[in-house]
């Protein structure tokens, strides 16, 4: 009986196991798959779910807290779970709600990547190179370049808020997903831009708001579309900086001047809404005529003047000319413009050049004033002697103020003294009073040349009646190693040098030390160049000439017999003395 009972038990157990396996097959419980489960109990640490298996699945309650499902979770709720193991060695079923959610999210992301669909997620934290985005418990990488269409410094307003993303890269092997928010923004922007472009056309005048200001222009918000306003399209007048006319947030009216269909870029202008003031410019204004104007700006190189309409006396909008620094003052070429004119000042100006094509007008302020050079020349013509004051000393001469005027003339160092030495400049210092004579006036260059030496008699006049070969008497003023310096005539300051080789006929007699200061010496003019004011003197040439005269007078054989001039002259003088003695005896 006992044997039969054991056989029956074994058979019933096999039957139960086969029925259970068949039931499991019907329930489609496979490890590694996502199945539907019913919440049977919610505890403090675990949630129990019914899988219609031998036992219930146990899921840690933290998995429901992460996804914030715990509040809405009830007994009997249907949820997806991931079946990791049907039965462990303890007979437990291992399931995971978090892995089920991740697998579901991955499948959604795969589908979104293939169809390029938008997905929603939240930026949770910042990492190197970008951000981490949580999309249905699927952690994705958001590169820094894909956060926005423009660089951002602060990301706080984007953290932990629902945002739309586009999946741009999916690596199944590594399990990496890269998303982009910028692609969503650009897509939305392009759609909005298409709508905006369909409503506007070139030539339309619209309202826009200034978004950003740069040195070369400004970016405008045109009902959601970006537009560019270049600095050259702000005004017909010269604009140095965009910020001079515009400010961020300002609402302005602009004219659409170009729409690029390929790049969808919009270019706007303000000056295009007004008539070009340079059109028919030559009908309103004439070159060399004087008009009224208002100073708008002073810069380093000049002043900008807005011309006034000669009929209405009102400033012409956008019509400005430049008074260059050189046209501000007759006397000061490098003066600071702001020291002559100031903004808002009304002045008379003369138009000296107009170029409507290049939109340039050259003006002169000084030509509306009396030219002090002309006035000065009328009162003090060339040849006049005036009092001057040294204002500057250069290497080549003196710059002096002329009388009580602001005019400045120049005295070259050669015109300081007849000896033409540069050392004469050392005798002068700033603010010294100097009497000078006006020698030359260049009206075009506005330059006056003066001289000091012209007030004295020219020592070279001594040589006006002299010629090469003439004998003159000079006074020794200085003994040098290579010669002597002598003065001629009554001018003791004008010195000439007799070189050592010209001091005597015989080389052994060419000794400067035999001369003393104050000695009178006879010499011959051997080189006279009046135009160059050069004279060459020689004692040697005079000796040679005297010897020729003596030989010619007292005998031709002197030189052939080896006699010298002294011997010949001695004999001649001796014969004269004998003749006198004979006469005395008689």
Tens-digit pLDDT profile for residues 159-208: 889 999 999 888 877 778 899 998 888 777 777 677 777 778 888 888 88
pLDDT of 585 reads: 45
* pLDDT value at residue 499: 92
Residues 219 and 228 sit within 8 Å (Cβ to Cβ): yes
Alpha-carbon span 54 to 205, nearest angstrom: 78
The CA distances from residue 59 to 86, 87, 88, 155, 185, in Å, are 14, 15, 15, 36, 40
Low-confidence winner among 83-87, 380-384, 497-501, 548-552 (lowest mean pLDDT): 83-87
CATH number for the domain spanning 386: value is 2.40.50.140
Q: Name the band, by pLDDT with cuts 50, 70 and 90, for residue 88.
A: low
Distance CA 49, CA 51 (A): 6
Where is mean pLDDT largest: 12-21, 76-85, 100-109, 213-222? 213-222
Residues 264 and 294 in one domain: no
CA distances from 1 to 8, 12, 14, 15 (A): 11, 17, 20, 21
The CA dihedral of 416, 421, 422, 428, to the nearest 10 degrees, is -40
* 575 domain-assigned: no
Contact 122, 74 (CB under 8 A): no
What is the C-alpha to C-alpha distance for residues 472 and 477, in angstroms, rounded to an integer? 16
Q: CA–CA distance from 425 to each of 398, 458, 581 (Å)?
A: 8, 20, 65
For the chain, the distance separating the N- and C-terminal CA atoms, rounded to the nearest angstrom, is 219
Residue-wise pLDDT tens digits, 217-261: 898 888 777 889 998 888 877 777 888 888 888 899 999 888 887
The whole-angstrom separation of Cα 88 and Cα 27 is 19
Least reliable range by pLDDT among 166-170, 536-540, 559-563: 559-563
Instruction: With both helix axes pointing from N to C terminus, report the angle between 539-554 and 565-585 in degrees, rounded to the nearest 10.
Output: 50
- How many residues in total does the chain contain? 586
pLDDT beyond 70 at 546: yes
Specify whether the CB–CB gap between 258 and 266 falls below 8 A.
yes
pLDDT at 484 over 70: yes
| pLDDT at residue 555 in the model | 66
pLDDT of amino acid 362: 94
- Assign 577 a pLDDT band (cuts: 50, 70, 90): very low
* Bigger pLDDT: 420 vs 516: 516
For residues 548 and 559, is the Cβ–Cβ distance under 8 A?
Answer: no
Does residue 338 form part of some domain? yes
pTM over 0.85: no
Let me know whether 388 and 470 are in one domain: no
Average pLDDT of the chain? 81
Confidence of residue 578 (pLDDT cuts 50, 70, 90): very low
DSSP for 469-509, written as a single string: T-EEEEEEEEEETTEEEEEETT-SSSEEEEEGGGS-SSGGG
212-to-46, 217, 232, 247, 416 alpha-carbon distances in Å: 56, 9, 16, 8, 66
Task: Considering only residues 519 and 489, tell me which one the structure prediction assigns the higher pLDDT.
Answer: 519
Q: Do 509 and 527 belong to one domain?
A: yes
Please report whether residue 5 resides in a domain.
Answer: no
Closest CA to 327 of 299, 363, 296, 300: 363
Tell me, what's the pLDDT at 30?
Answer: 65
Domain edge (last residue) among 337, 368, 399: 368
Residue 108 lies in a domain: no
Q: Is there a single domain that holds both residue 150 and residue 174?
A: yes
- The torsion region of residue 348 among left (phi > 0), alpha (psi -120 to 50) and beta comes to beta
Question: What pLDDT does 21 receive?
Answer: 59
SS3 352: strand
Task: Phi first, then psi: give them for residue 325, nearest 5 degrees.
Answer: -50, -40
* The Cα angle at residue 527 between residues 521 and 530, in degrees rounded to 5: 110
**Are 259 and 286 in a shared domain?**
no
The whole-number pLDDT of residue 264 equals 75
Answer whether residue 540 is part of any domain: yes
**559 band by pLDDT with thresholds 50, 70 and 90:** very low
**DSSP3 helix / strand / coil % (the chain, rounded to 5):** 30, 35, 35
Q: Report the pLDDT value the prediction gives residue 564, as an integer from 0 to 100.
A: 47
With b meaning 16 or more CB within 10 Å and e meaning fewer, what string describes 285-312? beeeeebebbbbbbeeebbbbbbbbeee
When mean pLDDT is compared across 9-13, 343-347, 531-535, the lowest value belongs to 9-13
Pick the more confident residue, 315 or 19.
Answer: 315
Q: How far apart are CA 278 and CA 316, in angstroms?
A: 10
pLDDT, tens only, 17-58: 565 555 555 555 666 567 788 888 887 888 888 777 667 777
Do 500 and 525 lie in one domain? The reply is yes
Identify whether residues 324 and 379 lie together within a single domain: no
Domain ends where: 405, 430, 455?
455
Q: Does residue 9 form part of some domain?
A: no
Q: What's the domain count of the chain?
A: 6
- Say yes or no: 482 and 537 in one domain: yes
Whether residue 549 has pLDDT greater than 80: yes
pLDDT of 149 reads: 80
pLDDT tops 80 at residue 11? no
Q: Which residue, 368, 392, 410, sits at the end of a domain?
A: 368
Q: Looking at the domain assignment, is residue 195 inside a domain?
A: no
Burial of 131 (0-12, 13-18, 19+ CB in 10 A): buried
User: For residue 156, is it within any domain?
Assistant: yes
Question: Percent of the chain at pLDDT above 70?
Answer: 85
Phi, psi of 414 (to 5 degrees): -75, -20
| Tokens read off for 444 | 């075009």
Residues 435, 452: contact at Cβ < 8 Å?
yes
Q: Is the model's pLDDT at 324 over the cut of 90?
A: yes
Rounded CA gap, 403 and 7, in Å? 148
Q: Are residues 38 and 73 in the same domain?
A: yes
CB crowding 447-468: b at 16 or more within 10 Å, else e:
ebbbbbbbeeeebbebbeeeee
559: CB partners within 8 A, 6+ apart: 551
Do 335 and 302 share a structural domain? yes
> Domain range holding 449?
372-455
The per-residue b/e assignment along 78-89, b for 16 or more CB within 10 angstroms, e otherwise, is ebebbbeebeee
| Nearest alpha carbon to residue 243 among 210, 269, 208, 270 | 210
Q: Positive or negative, the Cα torsion across 295, 297, 303, 306?
A: negative
Residue 324, CA atoms < 13 Å, CB-side half-sphere? 9
Do the beta carbons of residue 95 and residue 83 sit within 8 Å?
A: yes
Name the pLDDT band for 571 (thresholds 50, 70, 90). very low
């Amino acid at each position: 009986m006992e044997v039969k009972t054991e056989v029956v038990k074994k058979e019933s157990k096999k039957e139960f196991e086969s029925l259970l396996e068949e039931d499991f097959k019907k329930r489609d419980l496979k490890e590694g798959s996502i199945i539907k489960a019913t919440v049977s109990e919610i505890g403090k640490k675990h949630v129990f779910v019914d899988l219609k298996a031998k036992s219930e699945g146990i899921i840690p309650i933290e998995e429901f807290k992460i996804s914030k499902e715990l509040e809405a979770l009830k007994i009997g709720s249907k949820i997806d779970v991931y079946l990791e193991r049907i039965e462990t060695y303890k007979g437990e079923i291992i399931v995971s709600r978090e892995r089920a959610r991740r697998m579901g999210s991955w499948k959604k992301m795969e589908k979104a990547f293939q169809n390029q669909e938008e997905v929603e997620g939240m930026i949770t934290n910042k990492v190197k190179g970008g951000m981490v985005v949580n999309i249905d418990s699927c952690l994705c990488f958001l590169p820094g370049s894909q956060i926005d269409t423009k660089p951002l410094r602060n990301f706080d307003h984007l953290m932990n808020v629902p945002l739309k993303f586009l999946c741009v890269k999916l690596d199944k092997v590594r399990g990496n997903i890269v998303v982009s928010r910028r692609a969503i923004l650009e897509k939305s922007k392009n759609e909005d831009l298409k709508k905006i472009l369909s409503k506007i056309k070139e030539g339309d005048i619209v309202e826009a708001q200034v978004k950003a200001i740069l040195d070369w222009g400004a970016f405008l918000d045109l009902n959601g579309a970006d537009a560019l306003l270049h600095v050259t399209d702000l005004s017909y007048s010269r604009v140095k900086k965009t910020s001079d006319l515009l400010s961020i947030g300002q609402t302005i009216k602009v004219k659409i001047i170009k729409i690029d269909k390929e790049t969808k870029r919009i270019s706007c202008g303000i000056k295009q809404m007004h008539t070009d003031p340079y059109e028919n410019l030559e009908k309103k204004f004439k070159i060399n005529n004087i008009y009224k104007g208002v100073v708008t700006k002073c810069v380093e190189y000049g002043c900008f003047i807005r011309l006034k309409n000669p009929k209405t006396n009102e400033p012409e909008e956008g019509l400005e000319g430049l008074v260059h620094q050189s046209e501000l003052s007759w006397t000061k070429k490098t003066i600071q413009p702001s020291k002559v004119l100031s903004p808002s000042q009304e002045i008379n100006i003369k138009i000296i050049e107009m170029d409507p094509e290049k939109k340039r007008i050259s003006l002169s302020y000084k030509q509306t004033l009396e030219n002090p050079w002309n006035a000065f020349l009328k009162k003090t013509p060339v040849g006049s002697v005036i009092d001057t004051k040294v204002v500057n000393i250069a290497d080549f001469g003196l710059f002096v103020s002329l009388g009580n005027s602001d005019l400045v003339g120049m005295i070259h160092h050669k015109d300081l003294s007849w000896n033409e030495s540069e050392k004469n400049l050392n005798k002068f210092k700033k603010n010294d009073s100097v009497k000078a004579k006006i020698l030359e006036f260049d009206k075009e260059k506005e330059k006056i040349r003066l001289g000091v030496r012209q007030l004295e008699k020219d020592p070279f006049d001594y040589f006006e009646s002299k010629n090469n070969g003439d004998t003159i008497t000079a006074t020794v003023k200085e003994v040098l190693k290579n010669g002597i310096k002598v003065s001629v005539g009554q001018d003791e300051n004008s010195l000439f040098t007799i070189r050592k080789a010209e001091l005597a006929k015989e080389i052994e007699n060419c000794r400067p030390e035999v001369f003393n200061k104050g000695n009178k010496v006879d010499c011959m003019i051997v080189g006279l160049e009046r135009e160059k004011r050069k004279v060459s003197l020689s004692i040697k040439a005079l000796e040679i000439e005297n010897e020729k005269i003596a030989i010619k007078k007292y005998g031709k054989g002197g030189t052939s017999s080896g006699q010298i001039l002294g011997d010949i002259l001695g004999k001649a003088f001796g014969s004269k003395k004998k003749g006198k003695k004979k006469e005395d005896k008689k």
